[in-house]
Amino acid sequence: MTSNQRNLANFFIRTYGCQMNELDTEIMVGQLEKKGLKRTFDEEDADLLIFNTCSIRDLAERKVMGKIGQLGRSKAKRPIIGITGCMAMAKKETLFKKLPNVDFVLGTNNITDLGTVLDEVLETKRPSLRTDDQFEENLDYLVAKRDDKVKAYVSIIRGCNKFCTYCVVPYTRGQEVSRPPEDIVQECQKLVDNGYKEITLLGQNVNSYGKDKKEWNCLFHDLLYRLDQIPGLERVRFMTSHPIDITKELMEAIRDLPSLCEFVHFPIQAGSSRILRKMHRIYTKEQYLEKVAMLKEIVPNVSLGTDIIVGFPTETDEEFQMTYDVMKEIRYSVAFIFAYSARKGTPAMRWKDDIPESVKLERVHKLMELQEGIYAEQRQEFLGQTVEVLVEKRNKDGKLKGRTRCWKNVVFESDKELVGTLQNIDIHSFNHQTLIGNLSESLILA
């Protein structure tokens, strides 16, 4: 710590966007705490404010710009303000012009530089910018400071080489860079030693894991077999997957590995093959359905999740209907539905954003209504079933809350000591989002 840095006692950090950002925040928190700074959840009280931002849709960016624009104006003691994450990469030095109160901009590939950049800002009192295109593998993941005590995110690959035409991620997170398998196994082992029971492996496209490092001889499914060997690691999940890269070996791993949950986030994005081609998704609807059929054959109890974009340029009512029909056919157990948002620098900008916002919203609502009906039917199907729940926490109302292997929320009444254990729960009812049950007679892990 430099002498100047003693001025910074505490920091506030806010995360926008996806799980990758959540993990990057945990790493930054760990780094700052190691430097002796304390985390505060009171923005007004902080000497350092960090906004870990998202660029995926226009609204995500506008929210942050509005928020930061308002900051530090009323305070006599001005905090240091930093922007990290995807917006830092997308807007780089232009952020200093748009938001003159910002002191540093740190890209997704430069988290390791946080300490140096802070020193620089404090010493020079001038804005500092680090936005490398390439990710260097020297990021210390082990420093991450996690709030959750039962589940943890572990990064296995950063970046994306797929270049879907609507998406900023390949530009904001760069090329795919896999993390050495030994490091991943070591981190997972350490987490289990510290009491963690569930790990979600993170990457923009986890199925690409290892393809950039052929010499490691460790593809995604190989990594899963290695992780399954860790005693005490009860559950492994992964996200996100590109359907084209979901292999038979991966499907067999889901069938065969006790730790691997039978849930695959398998985003189709759209139900029309013409739109999929324009999106550069590199599969047709038929090829996607074939993959789903194969997965269901190999893992009959698998649950599927998806992301959907409606209102992609030139999407007709008939093409939207194809998305509706495919969702009705597949009956996803999780679906995230988005209105297309034109992003600067993406190939889709070459087409006019021609679907009116009102039509996009109407399409989003139609799909949400469909999905609500499917969720309600799925909850009904759980009645009378016994499910395995990993107990995550005690809610404010005193009930215990956890999830099934297929990602459904469950609540039940019991003792706080059960947090962090697996329990069999008999489902007797449900409310809007959640299954409700009782401890089953057969405890499977105390």
Return the range that interacts with ligand 5AD (CB under 6 A); candidates 113-121, 243-251, 336-344, 350-358.
336-344
- 395: nearest Cα among 409, 379, 411, 418: 411
Using CB under 6 A, pick the residue from 309, 327, 330, 435 that binds ligand 5AD: 309
Minimum Å distance from CB 161 to ligand SF4? 8
Cβ atoms of 202 and 239 within 8 Å: the answer is yes
Minimum gap (Å) between residue 169 Cβ and ligand SF4: 4
Burial class (CB in 10 A: 0-12, 13-18, 19+), 312: buried
- Contact between 56 and ligand 5AD by CB under 6 A: the answer reads yes
Q: Residue from 22, 183, 212, 307 that binds ligand 5AD (CB under 6 A)?
A: 307
List Cα–Cα distances, 33 to 105, 231, 373, in angstroms: 20, 30, 46
Sole binder of ligand 5AD in the list 146, 173, 242, 343 (CB under 6 A): 343
One DSSP character per residue, 337-367 reads: EEE----TTSGGGGS---S-HHHHHHHHHHH
CA distances from 373 to 303, 367, 379, 411 (A): 16, 10, 10, 21
Interface with ligand 5AD (CB under 6 A), residue total 12
Contact between 339 and 364 under an 8 Å Cβ cutoff? The reply is yes
Pick one of ligand SF4, ligand 5AD, none as the site partner of residue 158 (Cβ within 5 to 8 A by kind): none
Which of 16, 104, 266, 338 is close enough to bind ligand 5AD by CB under 6 A?
338
Binding map of ligand 5AD across residues 239-278, x = CB under 6 A, - = no contact: ----------------------------x-x---------
**Binding region for ligand SF4 (CB under 6 A):** 160, 162-164, 167, 169-170, 204-205, 242
Contact 248, 291 (CB under 8 A): no
In 10 A of CB 364, how many CB atoms? 17
Nearer to ligand SF4, 179 or 242 (CB): 242
Per CB under 6 A, residues contacting ligand 5AD are 56-57, 166-167, 267, 269, 307, 309, 338, 340-341, 343
